[in-house]
Amino acid sequence: MIQTQTFSHTNTNVKRYVLTNKNGVCAKITNYGAILTSLKIPLKSGDRDIVLGFDSLEDYQSKAYLKDYPYFGAIIGRFANRINLGKVTIDAKEIQLSTNHGKHLLHGGHSGFDKRVWDAEIIGESKLQLSLDSEDGDQNFPGNMKINIIYELNDENELAIYYSATCDKTSPINLTSHSYFNFTGGKENILNHQLQIDSDKILENNSELIPTGNYIEVNNTAFDFRDLKQIKQNIAQVENYDNCYVLKTEGKNLMKVAELYEESSNIRMEISTDFPGLQLYTGKFINVEGNKKFGPFSGVALETQAFPDAPNQPNFSDGFIHPGEIYEQQTRYQFHF
């Protein structure tokens, strides 16, 4: 079942769509930024919201939120994560993209897909489609790109996100969902959550979190999450995880790649995807002024995506979409409670 609600005091084009399955799992999505604003799990103690988000458009546009902008729950594009110096080369021509993270591009530039109003259409009892046209020159990306996102909440307690896009010129592309999870509902931070990631390698970064093109084996390091362990177990060595894990999805349509578990709530989430990478961000720098609920480590982001700076790294899949191609990816989050 899907219901439509008002989400803004002033903008009538912005709505919130409430997807509820037969078990009482409830996902709320707004067509502003295609944001997953809420995901409630029905526990014996009551419904628990397990993602970070707000109840109105005005909260997402407030100065307090945008000052240290954490991208709560948004669909990110055209290119998630970082592009070094905001520069790419296409057909021997260097293109300077929008730079919004020091001298680099982060999450699509100054005005990415996370700040756009999408067209919304309910296409079934459990499916919401969100569509966006990104015009040629948007954040200086080339080509007219058409993007479709479908959220589906099924009765197996699985929230699926289907990504698709086309473009009439060669353009960088890397779409992701930037949801932060906290299975305590904000009563505690996420450091006691247990995490498992099926990955033997992470991308090596420089000091500005730009990939060098090399890989690091996780064996005998703080980055090893091949077995379920508490996030806090090795965090003193790294201070904060903000790393792209190399998944084993190549040549596979869909596979389980990660699991998140919290003991006191007994909530377990399994992530399946066909993306090649998973960005783990433990949220040390979350800071919404005046809101104690949204501070350091208040949520963990597990962003399935292509590799950051892929257009500039010959060792990575190229990170481009070409005319005539259809970009298609999917990620599924299944909940057990």
SS (H, E, C) the chain: CEEEEECCCCCCCCEEEEEECCCCCEEEEECECCEEEEEEEEECCEEEECECCCCCHHHHCCHHHHCCCCCCCCEECCECCEEHHHEEEECCEEEECCCCECCEEECCCCCCHHHCECEEEECCCCEEEEEEEECCCHHHCCCCEEEEEEEEECCCCEEEEEEEEEECCCEECECEECCEECCCCCCCCCCCCEEEECCCEEEEECCCCCEEEEEEECCCCCCCCCCCEEHHHHHHHHCCCEEEEECCCCCCCCEEEEEEEECCCCEEEEEEECCCEEEEECCCCCCCCCCCCCCCCCCEEEEEECCCCHHHCCCCCCCEECCCCCEEEEEEEEEEC
User: Per the structure block, which two tokens stand in for 209?
Assistant: 């979190």
The pLDDT score that the predictor gives to residue 8 is: 96
* pTM given for the model: 0.97
- The pLDDT of residue 76 is above 90: yes
Kindly state the tokens that stand for 155. Answer: 């009765």
- Asked if the model's pLDDT at residue 81 lies above 90, the reply is yes
Confidence of residue 292 (pLDDT cuts 50, 70, 90): confident
What's the average model confidence in pLDDT over 271-293? Answer: 95
180 is in an annotated binding site: yes
Q: What pLDDT does residue 147 have? A: 98
What is the β-pairing status of strands 145-153 and 194-197?
A: unpaired
Torsion angle of C-alpha atoms 257, 263, 264, 266, degrees rounded to 10 = 60
Kindly tell me if the per-residue pLDDT of 317 is higher than 90: no
- Residue 209 has a pLDDT of 96
In this prediction, residue 210 has a pLDDT band, given cuts at 50, 70 and 90, of: very high
AA identity, residue 175: L
In this prediction, residue 256 has a pLDDT band, given cuts at 50, 70 and 90, of very high
Measured CA to CA in angstroms, residue 235 lies from 225, 231, 269 at distances of 12, 7, 21
Give the model's pLDDT for residue 12. 94
Predicted local confidence at residue 290, as pLDDT: 86
Strand partners, 277: 246, 305
> Is there a cis peptide before residue 78, judged by omega within 30 degrees of 0?
yes
Instruction: Please answer whether residues 107 and 242 qualify as being in contact, where contact means their C-beta atoms are separated by less than 8 angstroms.
Output: no
Total count of residues recorded for the chain: 337
Q: Is 110 labeled as ligand-binding?
A: no
Which pair of tokens denotes residue 197? 């990631």
pLDDT of residue 16: 98
- Is 140 a known ligand-binding residue? no
In whole angstroms, give the CA distance from residue 3 to residue 5: 7
* Options 152, 259, 262, 303, the catalytic residue: 303
Structure tokens at 100: 């919004």
Instruction: State whether CATH 3.30.1360.40 applies to domain 2-336.
Output: no
pLDDT, the chain, mean: 97
Average pLDDT of the residues in 29-48:
97
| Count of beta carbons in the 10 Å neighbourhood of residue 209 | 17
For residue 234, which phi and psi values (nearest 5 degrees)?
-120, 15
**Residue 251 pLDDT grade (very low, low, confident, very high; cuts 50, 70, 90):** confident
Is 119 annotated among the ligand-binding residues?
Answer: no
Annotation says 101 is catalytic: no
Is 163 annotated as contributing to ligand binding? Answer: no
Confidence at residue 179, expressed as pLDDT on a 0 to 100 scale: 98
Residue 225 · residue 199 · CB < 8 Å: yes
Q: Determine the average pLDDT of the residues in 32-50.
A: 97
Q: Is 48 annotated as a binding residue?
A: no
- Residue 303 is among the residues annotated as catalytic for this protein: yes
Catalytic option among 107, 178, 259, 262? 178
**Could you state, in order of their start, the residue ranges of all structural domains in the chain?**
2-336
Nearest C-alpha neighbor of 24 from the set 42, 39, 6, 46: 42
What confidence tier does 328 reach under pLDDT thresholds 50, 70, 90?
very high
Neighbours of 200 (CB within 10 A): 16
Dihedral of the alpha carbons of 70, 74, 80, 84, in degrees to the nearest 10:
-30
Tell me, what's the pLDDT at 70?
98
Q: How far apart are the C-alpha atoms of 98 and 108, rounded to whole Å?
A: 8
Averaged pLDDT, 142-152: 98
